[in-house]
């Protein structure tokens, strides 16, 4: 009998690209950053816990003094190579199509032994074949009565220990308030697209790069023209022309904060004799949110400019047409060149897990004598979740 989705322990699905480090490509994900409002709760005497229960240490006490279980919410940063996945979202009821979420929930999170099944609420959905240097999700873990919440470190170790797929890795975990929402709270998302030039065909590309960039059949791109065209996309616009059918967005209006075209880092997988031919380019786009396949459609149009098929002015005309069926924007760039680079939350700053606290009188910590809500940093070992 075949194993259910996400539960295989064998080497099936392993590939050369799955074992590659994104850091070796010069694509190391940025260190996770959170705003003070995104930091979690540190239990202490008199702290108000989940559902208004008073807590003692990390345990919730009911009105009668009985110990009740506490549901703890965590923000998880994770990365994956999208090759072989049917996107990041879980695929339910299928034995063939598998999403990254299937492995996170059915293979790893089950081992946390939560009273209620653990479900990942993912901040940014990616299509089949799209990669993520750093995606995020929140999840709830409810332990049995009398057991304190896991520390973020234990959750991260547990997930990685039982996550057997070689193309998925948990980067970091933080404890967050019970009403935190990974998707709704995100204030910035950045996507990166990799191009390769100087490659007559995909078979001329190093095998390690074949699922990590779009190999263009040209020796050069007009990068200044691409940069000029990208300027027309900046700002707040109706991006209907760059939206694929099936988008769940209520409005096609988005604000594109950044669009850049620049030389990418040299691939470590290119042989010396090929270095003079192959060149890599990086396109980056930043917005609070994007429409369905918006980044891949914008990339396709900018590449058309780089190849001399379109002029920068024509990109503005395409944008203003609001026509998603136009000749140049109707065909998105291939999925395998796209990476979700980062998901950020308001008030960006470097996060120190040992000292991150929610600031302000509403949290009672403007006075050192009052309670402090911060990240739950507790000593813990892997045997805590067994």
Catalytic residue set: 127
In terms of DSSP bridges, do strands 131-142 and 121-122 run parallel, antiparallel, or are they unpaired? antiparallel
- Count CA atoms closer than 13 A to 27's CA, side-chain side: 34
In terms of DSSP bridges, do strands 131-142 and 338-345 run parallel, antiparallel, or are they unpaired? parallel
- 99 phi, psi to nearest 5 deg: -105, 160
Residue of 184, 186, 167, 29 lying closest to 107 (CA atoms): 167
Helix 312-321 crosses helix 223-231 at what angle (to 10 degrees)? 30
Contact 351, 174 (CB under 8 A): yes
Q: 3-state SS of 64-124?
A: CCCEECCEEEEEEEEEECCCCCCCCCCCCCCCCCCCHHHHHHHHHHHHHCCCCCCCCEECC
- 23 phi, psi to nearest 5 deg: -65, -35
- 93 phi, psi to nearest 5 deg: 70, 20
- Cα 156 to Cα 57, 108, 349, 378, distances in angstroms: 22, 10, 22, 13
Contact 382, 157 (CB under 8 A): yes
């Amino acid at each position: 009998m075949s194993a259910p989705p996400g539960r295989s322990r064998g080497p099936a699905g392993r590939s050369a690209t799955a074992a590659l480090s994104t850091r070796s490509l010069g694509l190391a994900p940025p260190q996770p950053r959170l705003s003070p409002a995104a930091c979690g709760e540190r239990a202490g005497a008199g702290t108000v816990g989940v559902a208004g229960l008073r807590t003692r240490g990390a345990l919730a006490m009911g009105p009668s003094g009985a110990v009740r279980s506490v549901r703890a919410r965590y923000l998880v940063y994770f990365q994956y190579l999208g090759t072989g996945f049917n996107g990041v979202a879980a695929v339910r009821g299928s034995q063939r199509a598998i999403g990254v979420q299937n492995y996170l929930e059915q293979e790893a999170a089950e081992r946390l032994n939560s009273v209620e099944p653990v479900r990942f609420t993912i901040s940014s959905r990616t299509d089949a074949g799209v990669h993520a240097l750093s995606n995020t999700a929140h999840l709830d873990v409810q332990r049995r009565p009398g057991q304190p919440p896991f520390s973020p470190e234990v959750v991260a170790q547990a997930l990685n220990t039982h996550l057997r797929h070689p193309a998925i890795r948990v980067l970091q975990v933080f404890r967050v308030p019970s009403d935190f929402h990974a998707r709704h709270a995100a204030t910035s998302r950045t996507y990166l697209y990799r191009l390769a030039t100087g490659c007559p065909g995909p078979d001329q590309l190093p095998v390690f790069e074949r699922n990590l960039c779009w190999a263009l059949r040209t020796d050069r791109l007009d990068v200044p023209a691409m940069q000029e065209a990208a300027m027309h996309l900046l700002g707040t616009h109706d991006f209907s022309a760059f939206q694929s059918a099936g988008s769940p967005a209520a409005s096609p209006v988005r604000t594109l904060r950044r669009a850049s075209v620049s030389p990418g880092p040299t691939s470590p997988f290119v042989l010396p004799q090929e270095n003079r031919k192959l060149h890599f380019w990086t396109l980056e786009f930043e917005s609070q949110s994007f429409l369905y396949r918006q980044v891949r459609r914008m990339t396709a149009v900018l590449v058309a400019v780089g190849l001399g098929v379109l002029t920068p002015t024509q990109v503005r005309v395409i944008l203003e047409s609001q026509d998603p069926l136009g000749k140049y924007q109707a065909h998105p760039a291939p999925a395998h060149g796209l990476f979700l680079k980062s998901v950020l939350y308001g008030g960006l700053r470097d996060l120190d897990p040992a000292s991150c606290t929610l600031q302000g009188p509403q949290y009672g910590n403007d006075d050192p004598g009052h309670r402090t809500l911060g990240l739950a940093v507790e000593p813990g070992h892997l045997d805590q979740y067994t």
